[in-house]
Amino acid sequence: MKYAIKGGSIEKLSCDCLIIPIWSKGALSNEAKSLDVATGKAISKLMKSGDFAGKLAQTSLLYDPEGVAAKRILLIGAGERKKFHAHSCAKALKGAAKAVSKLQAARVHFALSDTLPTDRDGVWLATRVAQEMEDACYKYDTTKSKKAKAVAIRAVSISIPGKTTRKQVDAGLATGAAIGKAINRAKQLGNLPGNVCTPTFLANEAQTLATRHKSLSTKVLTEKQMARLGMGSLLSVGAGSDQESKLIIIEHKGAKADSKPYVLVGKGITFDTGGISLKPGSAMDEMKFDMCGAASVVATMGCVAELNLPINVIGMVAAAENMPSGRATKPGDIVTSMSGKTIEILNTDAEGRLVLCDALTYAERFKPRTIIDIATLTGAAVATFGAHANVLLSNNDQLAETLLDCGEESLDRAWQLPLWDEYQSLLNSNFADIANIGGPRAGTITAACFLSRFTEKQKWAHLDIAGSAWHSGAQKGATGRPVGLLMQYLNTQKP
């Protein structure tokens, strides 16, 4: 899709669908008032009929309206004007984007010049329009014999919102489109089945990215290379699989060579049976989503390159398949990590931290400014937070606060849990330096405590996305989170 700014009289604007927000209780914006007059009070008549009340995200379509150049007018409920904040604005835009994506409308215009949320500016609004449009147009049909009907939309335009300049709005649209595409890339990788999206497939995706963007380079470590580095923890996870494990390193050079990078590390378990500690059969198919942390890293790196951010960023993916076999790691086995710490594996289904710890140790060689790992790590995170929050733990209060703020700004929110020393003793082992689980209590916290043992010298944060990375049930599918949060963070960092 192409994005642009269009001005002039709203009733004379030529497009296939004109999207106009309507406040509840019949209140109309200035643009809506102009349209109402031009159409012979068509909007007012609809409001008086009771069929459309302006409730948040409610939609109603007017075909071939008289007196205007647009072929259709899509009314989108914006709710109460005083309560129109970022969350309600995003909900309204999402509703409009979904509705218009189902129409045979090639040219779409958002009339938003006086419809700013109370807590955001025009740049944010422009960014959000493009992001929601890209997101709404995603359809998965890769492994279906009948392909989905292509979305008709080819061009999206908006009125300049608020007191922003044309240059600012253009930049916002470009950023939003890039983020929306990255979210869709993460969703696509997450939705692919485990027999397609293997560690090798992820490595190939990362290498393809590097061929498309001059700022990117990709390096892939094989099992033999990882063995020489002493990555016994990562390699233990894929020991029972016929698929070779990979450590994927994607590097974006947007600043001077001596500028320290920001590092992202993604958990890439392309399918998780639980290993010898086998998972129940119910909903095991959803364990193809156990690589959504990796998907978010790959997608974010592509977005960083597309926007050519003026910083150095390194994305790492620890990719493996966790399978039971005669070669598989057993409960009670002890492995040696790259750091030299020995680990007693009490449960082979706590495998994500085992691949991440070696990746985090490897990341130290880049002398990073910060390290953020992203992982579908614990069922405890799902039980505690459901699908809404990314769970955040960190050894650095300033980094944690920054990420929380970025989550609020991007509406890809996180909530922080404590990483207190009192929890560390739950990982004590009689036979190794550390156990890979800490018992039935505080599972999300003890998982982060495990990772903190390998990041003691770093400014590090951990995002547990086990609840936010995908939906179950009728809407089953990857969400693309937390690409929005990660891009908000990286987009505000300095070289």
Q: How many domains does one find in the chain? A: 2
**Is residue 487 very low, low, confident or very high in pLDDT (cuts 50, 70, 90)?**
very high
pLDDT in tens, 21-47: 999 987 898 899 999 999 999 999 999
Q: What are phi and psi of 138, to 5 degrees?
A: -75, 135
**231/127 same-domain check:** no
Query: Is 252 inside a domain boundary?
Result: yes
| Residue 173 forms part of a structural domain | no
- Under the banding of pLDDT at 50, 70 and 90, the label for residue 483 is very high
On whether both 97 and 206 belong to a single domain, the answer is no
Query: Which pLDDT belongs to residue 11?
Result: 94
Rg (CA), the chain: 24
Please give the pLDDT value at position 161: 82
pTM: 0.97
Q: 113, 130, 162 — which closes off a domain?
A: 162
Looking at the fold, whether 408 and 467 belong to one and the same domain comes out as yes
Amino acid 21: pLDDT: 95
- Whether residue 233 lies inside any domain: the answer is yes
Read off the pLDDT of residues 223-244 as tens digits, 9 standing for 90 and up: 999 999 999 999 999 999 999 9
- The residues that are catalytic are 279, 353
Side-chain half-sphere CA neighbours of 195 within 13 A: 2
**Residue 361 has what pLDDT?**
98
Q: What is the pLDDT of residue 114?
A: 86
Helices (H), 346-393: 352-363, 379-385
Q: What percent of the chain has pLDDT over 90?
A: 97
Question: Same domain for 123 and 212?
Answer: no
Question: For residue 156, which of 15, 20, 58 has the smallest C-alpha distance?
Answer: 15
In a domain, residue 176? The reply is: no
Residue 342 lies in a domain: yes
Burial of 273 (0-12, 13-18, 19+ CB in 10 A): buried
Domain of residue 141, CATH code: 3.40.220.10
Instruction: pLDDT band for 160, please (50, 70, 90 cuts).
Output: confident
Q: Which domain holds residue 406?
A: 185-491
Clarify whether residues 326 and 361 are in a common domain: yes
pLDDT for the residue 36: 95
